[in-house]
Amino acid sequence: MNVAEPLIMVLMALAIATAHAKLPPPTPEEQAAAEKQKAAQQAQLEKQKKQLEAAQERVVQHYRQEKGGAPAAGGRKLETKDENMPKTTKELPGGVGPKPTQPQSGEAHSGQAK
């Protein structure tokens, strides 16, 4: 038993050292791919934001036609803020699931609905 304890301690020390090792910095290709992915996500967000605003405008116009409401103050178009957009608009089509930039949501681990 005395021989096993130091061996276990050495193996644990090696495991800890391996766990704390740093990864090499990303290559220029990986950085370019990450920037491209980020730009694609931003473009997707802008596209869906414009679609949401257009849908909201259609609803407002329909409501005004039905109810005879007055136009908005100053007749200006209201813009949707980025923080008011749903989480799914930030995800590219086919790019669902947890990623380092978007960790898994707590909803995936919640219990049964009551």
pLDDT tens digits, 24-37:
888 999 999 999 99
pLDDT of residue 47: 94
pLDDT of residue 68: 76
pLDDT of residue 38: 94
CA distance 85 to 89: 7
pLDDT of residue 92: 65
Indicate the DSSP class of residue 13.
H
Profile the chain (114 residues) by mean pLDDT over runs of 10 residues.
83 87 87 94 93 93 82 62 70 63 63 58
pLDDT digits (tens, 9 = 90+) for 92-104: 666 656 666 666 6
Structure token digits, residue 97 = 């699931």
Compute CA distances 32 → 39, 90, 92, 98, whole Å: 10, 19, 17, 21
Indicate the DSSP class of residue 79.
-
pLDDT of residue 21: 80
pLDDT of residue 67: 83
Token look-up 């800890």 returns 16
pLDDT of residue 76: 61
Q: Which helix (H) or strand (E) holds 110?
A: none
Q: Around Cβ 41, how many Cβ atoms within 10 Å?
A: 17
pLDDT of residue 81: 72
